[in-house]
Amino acid sequence: LGWTGDAQVFAGTAAYNRNVALFFTKWLHDLASEQTAEFGVPHVIPNILVQQEGAAAWSDAAVIIPWVIYQTYGDKRILEEQYESMKGWVDFIKSRCGSNGLWQTGFQYGDWLALDKEESADFSGATDKHLVANAYYAYSTDIVRKTSRLLNYTEDADKYDELYGEIKKAFNEEYITSTGRILSETQTGCILALYFDLAEEKYRDRILKSLATNIANHKNHLSTGFVGTPYLCHTLTENTLHDLAGILFLREDYPSWLYSVKKGATTIWERWNSILPNGDFDTSGMNSLNHYAYGSIGDWMYRKLAGINQLEPGYKRILIKPQFIKGITSVEATFNSVYGEIKSAWVCQDKWIKIKVEIPANTTAVLYLPEKEEPIELGSGTYKYEYATETNLEKERFTFDSTLKEILDEPLAVQILNQYAPDLMNNPAIQFAYQLSIIEILANAPGDETVQLFKKVIDTLNNRQNEVLTK
């Protein structure tokens, strides 16, 4: 089935992997032909299911995918052809809103197949479904207002500018308290408020902290479903928590992207646990082994690890800004833009950084070298850079996932903790925390001083380990 939600969350990754302009142009034409004023946008295209009203994230494919295609290929025709469909979806939502200006009626998928809701019969996750719906309502309205301006529909642009402001205001009043606490302090609830730029600036730090705390409470694991997963690592990277994004990306135990790989998967699963830890097949239903939504992490890999981004639609002007994560010492990526191949490759090993970048003809680029502050302006051509570094990206023995016992088995760690945290070391209750990971301990003993203390211990142990290995 041509599920609209799956297509929407994966479109960015698809556009990096293949030239999907013609495919999505045809598919979006089909979508528009199935769309009605009465029901909105169907959940699958072609629509072979029972007719029902459109739902957030799924039906938003009508707006988001044309925008992705335009940004990728720089061809405004897709926006011109889909403009009425894009407006039609936003107008449909508006017609379903109550007096508070929010969409809180009808069927919603929520954060489909998220892992944060105990009731196994409900696949929609713990994030408030209407929070999800109105986050997407705002996001699609934002895209439509930009599209209207781009196509010189001034009256429409003004109308949707005003509507967007009204939705954001209503969203904050309904879902974020006066002290900045979000109604659904799930990973996805925090992600949508931050990534869609819905939360007021003064509340962003608290919501980001709530996101980090939630991840810590899940022992540094994700719990997101179809809606939160595409934006999880992007949100962390763009809000000072890139290291945490790297930790989630490289996890190998359930739930994680590499869990399925370790279980022998060669395609993306519909569920995080399509094969259970004991090796059995999950028989709870809806268990496709070729269901690409969680493959949306590919967009983050291209944009953040390889650092290939567009500064102008169609990559007429390019941003190359690779970012390192612990556990990966080299990355190489190629994107076939309409102007030609864009390549970004880096190696960080043996105290040396090597960068290679290729920029196609008739384009310009801005390059940010890792660990360097000043951007470099580039024309077309191939460029190489090499310079020294103290950064070590090799996977380390001690991490925040290490148990307290593993840390305290090291005399050097005991020495540091006795010096800086004698009350902790002399507390009889410490024996009950031996099997807890450091991240679990920090979740129950918040405070930057405690975080910095354990970071000092872990860094010291790893530095000593590296010194031993290099001798």
- Other CB atoms closer than 10 Å to residue 420's CB: what's the count? 14
Kindly state the tokens that stand for 287: 């268990």
Q: For residues 131 and 251, state if they share a domain.
A: yes
365 burial level (CB within 10 Å; 0-12, 13-18, 19+): buried
pLDDT at position 314 over 70? yes
Contact of 186 with 109, CB cutoff 8 Å = no
Final residue belonging to a domain, choices 256, 290, 315: 256
pTM of the model: 0.89
Q: Please tell me the total count of domains within the chain.
A: 3
Q: For residues 233 and 341, state if they share a domain.
A: no
pLDDT at position 144 over 70? yes
What was the pLDDT predicted at 360?
99
- Other CB atoms closer than 10 Å to residue 162's CB: what's the count? 11
On whether residue 193 sits in a domain, the answer given is: yes
Helix/strand/coil (H/E/C) assignment for every residue in 246-302? HHHHHCCCCCCHHHHHHCCCCCCCCCCCCECCCCCECCCCCCCCCCHHHHHHHHHHH
What was the pLDDT predicted at 120?
64
On whether residue 277 sits in a domain, the answer given is: no
What was the pLDDT predicted at 277?
86
Q: For residues 133 and 183, state if they share a domain.
A: yes
Read off the pLDDT of each residue in 428-435 and give the average, rounded to a whole number.
88
CA–CA distance, 402 with 421 (Å, rounded to integer): 19
Confidence of residue 180 (pLDDT cuts 50, 70, 90): very high
What was the pLDDT predicted at 352?
97
Higher-pLDDT residue of 443 and 411 is: 411
Specify which of 272-276, 301-305, 405-409 reaches the highest per-range mean pLDDT.
Answer: 301-305
Q: For residues 368 and 409, state if they share a domain.
A: no
pLDDT at position 441 over 90? no
Contact of 370 with 348, CB cutoff 8 Å = yes
Q: For residues 212 and 170, state if they share a domain.
A: yes
* 46: helix, strand or coil: coil
Read off the pLDDT of each residue in 58-87 and give the average, rounded to a whole number.
99
Read off the pLDDT of each residue in 102-106 and give the average, rounded to a whole number.
97
| CA distance between the termini of the chain | 58
pLDDT digits (tens, 9 = 90+) for 7-26: 999 999 999 999 999 999 99
What was the pLDDT predicted at 455?
87
pLDDT at position 117 over 90? no
Q: For residues 59 and 199, state if they share a domain.
A: yes
Q: For residues 240 and 357, state if they share a domain.
A: no
What was the pLDDT predicted at 465?
73
Q: For residues 382 and 410, state if they share a domain.
A: no
| CATH number of domain containing 20 | 1.50.10.10
pLDDT at position 338 over 90? yes
On whether residue 350 sits in a domain, the answer given is: yes
What was the pLDDT predicted at 471?
56
Give me the long-range contacts of 260-266 (CB less than 8 A, separation at least 24).
Answer: 265/289
CA angle 328, 334, 336 (to 5 degrees): 155
31-40, 204-213, 283-292, 339-348, range with the lowest pLDDT: 283-292
Confidence of residue 282 (pLDDT cuts 50, 70, 90): confident
Q: For residues 137 and 231, state if they share a domain.
A: yes
Final residue belonging to a domain, choices 228, 256, 284: 256
Confidence of residue 121 (pLDDT cuts 50, 70, 90): low
Express the helix, strand and coil content of the chain in percent, nearest 5 each.
Answer: 50, 10, 40
- Other CB atoms closer than 10 Å to residue 122's CB: what's the count? 10
Q: For residues 381 and 319, state if they share a domain.
A: yes
Residue-range definition of the domain harbouring residue 457: 404-470
Helices 201-217 and 187-195 pack at an angle, to 10 degrees, of: 150
Final residue belonging to a domain, choices 388, 422, 445: 388
Read off the pLDDT of each residue in 239-252 and give the average, rounded to a whole number.
95
What was the pLDDT predicted at 213?
92
Q: For residues 118 and 218, state if they share a domain.
A: yes
- Other CB atoms closer than 10 Å to residue 26's CB: what's the count? 10
pLDDT at position 156 over 80? yes
414 strand-pairing partners: none
Is the peptide bond prior to 322 cis by the omega test (within 30 degrees of 0)? no
On whether residue 288 sits in a domain, the answer given is: no
pLDDT at position 469 over 70? no
What was the pLDDT predicted at 449?
82
